[in-house]
Chains A and B, each alone.
Chain A
Amino acid sequence: MKPALSVIFFTVASGAGLGLLVWLLVASLMANHIRMDATTFYQGAAIAAALITAGLFASTLHLANRKNVIYALTRVRTSWLAREGAFAIALYPLAALHLYGLQSGMPQLTPITLGLLIADCIVVLYCTGMIYGCLKTIPRWNTWMTPVKYVLFGLMSGAVLLPAVLTLRPVEIGPVGRPMVAIVLLALGLVLYLTYLVKNPRNQHTINDALGFQQGKVRLLDVGHSHGTFLTNEFGFSVARDKARLLRWIAIACGFIVPLILCYFSQWFWTASIICLVGLLVERWLFFAEAEHVVRLYHGQQRV
């Protein structure tokens, strides 16, 4: 698949923003325990909102006909893309309601909106994963690991961002402790990513299945077009094996191992967050670049 930068940025930025929002809300429940003041909460919420909103805007950049984007929420009953959009937009009125509850002193409102916000964030992450996970035409994506990966990586990058946000609070409240949630999620994320690398489904279909001639070898004689088409442009992207291997190591190191070390042994949470996001961007680029669509079989590839 062609790795569209707008979609890669969208999934990573919105994922981190949603994760950060979840952990900020959880942290606000135990604000006394971790000693988070209101200003820090709002600063963190602003960062989360900026990440989510920037991501959502970026996601519209790859649309070829943006004026019809208003119809994009009309098929929530069937389309994961519509569901994702609807739940993502639902965040804004929910957040407004939550803010209203916090500011105007309606304490009976905030537990409900807080619960709904946390649930909505996780549902949005799940829907984003299912946009890719539901496609039977792309075997590498069509696995339970895809939505789990989107939810876990979102929560993980958010959990790394939370201690970074907490370092913004006044000095008298004291230093940030060891962020155990981030450390645990980074470890889980690493395990899931390695599992995905080993276990993702591939070589599920052959050119014989594509044409229905099961005996003997089938090979493309002529593809019928003299230059690139929409299909070769969209689905023909291939990444060199050496380059993919290098990028995979970068994703493993930057996405998981380096932030894990930084979170465990140091207080450099902003550095850890940025390295983690860079690693996730590389991981997401590979997720698209290495995915193979079954239409490649008709273009002569032997297995997908």
Chain B
Amino acid sequence: MRLGLAIDLDTCVGCHACAVACKEWNGQSLMGGAPDYDAYGKAPSGTWYNRIRHYELEGDPTYSPHQCGSKADPSAHQPLSKTINVPMSCMHCEEAHCVTVCPTGASYKRAEDGIVLVDPSRCMGCNYCAWACPYGARELDQDEGVMKKCTLCVDRIYDAQLAEADRQPACVLACPTHARHFGDYDDPQSKVSLLAASRGTQSMLDDLGYKPTNAYLSPRKPVEVKTELPLRQGLSDKAKAFVNRLIQL
């Protein structure tokens, strides 16, 4: 098994619900513990397993066929016209260098399902694994002095006491737009495999060779709205064209 997440960059609205749900579940779990520091003070900080960042894309014409700003050159790059929200947690890489560099053996990758975990009873808090992670997935728990990271809710997904539908990571269950999916990438018929295959995925620092398991589904290309009149116009075509002209003013 190769368990991982598929995160839809198209539907993610950047609400941080996944991060809050993660904190809620893992803050009190056996594997986790995600303390806050100075939570209500002047410089609130904390250990999070999942962080959401927001970016603006300039003008990739594939993602923004509608001209905005200058209309002079339709093929030119548009101004920063597309916002994407990127939640980022442990990618459970196949070539997890964070595990290789760990001197104590506290970091390990499970053979049976590929989940990368930290054994807090062995970790000496040297931060070396965090240095080896390109995705910033590992954060030190400053109360316990050990490294913490996404466990893929390993204490949830195998819990037979939970209903079948609830045996998923907390972030997946919390997502209000269903932008997060959980499954087995080794199974070509699993939901995440099918989504990754049909939607295409973003290559994130693939040249480093870590082979991340999590996939970021590429934003869909928007449907282009044509403003020219079709050859044979029905009444509805005329109405659409009229509305489109109004919008394009």
Chain A residues within 8 Å of B, Cβ to Cβ: 1, 62-69, 71-75, 78-82, 85, 131, 134-138, 205, 209-213, 215-231, 234-235, 293-295, 297-299
Contacts and interface: CB of A to CB of B under 8 A. Distances in A.
Given A65-B124, A229-B45, A229-B48, A81 B101 contact: yes
Given A216-B77, A229-B139, A68 B106 contact: yes
Contact of B145 (A64, A220, A225): A64
Interface of B: 16, 43-48, 51-62, 77, 80, 83-84, 86, 88, 97, 100-106, 121-128, 130-136, 139-140, 142, 144-146, 201-205, 207-209, 216, 218
A213 B57 contact: yes
B62 A221 contact: no
Contacts of B77: 215-217
Given A71-B124, A210-B204, A213-B57, A65 B51 contact: no
A137 B96 CA distance: 12
Given A75-B103, A81-B101, A227 B45 contact: yes
Contacts of A222: 53-54
A79 B103 contact: yes
A68 B131 contact: no
B53 A223 contact: yes
Contacts of B126: 62-64, 72, 81
B98 to A, nearest CB: 10
9 contacts: A65-B125, A66-B124, A209-B205, A211-B202, A217-B77, A230-B45, A231-B139, A295-B134, A295-B135
A216 B139 contact: no
For the complex of A and B, list the 7 residue pairs with the smallest distance between their C-beta atoms, beginning with the closest: A64-B125, A212-B202, A64-B145, A65-B145, A82-B103, A71-B104, A217-B58
A74 B105 contact: yes
Given A81-B126, A210-B204, A226-B44, A71 B106 contact: yes
Nearest to B126: A63
B121 A68 contact: yes
A230 B136 CA distance: 9
A238 to B, nearest CB: 17
Interface centre among A1, A82, A299 (most CB of B within 10 A): A82
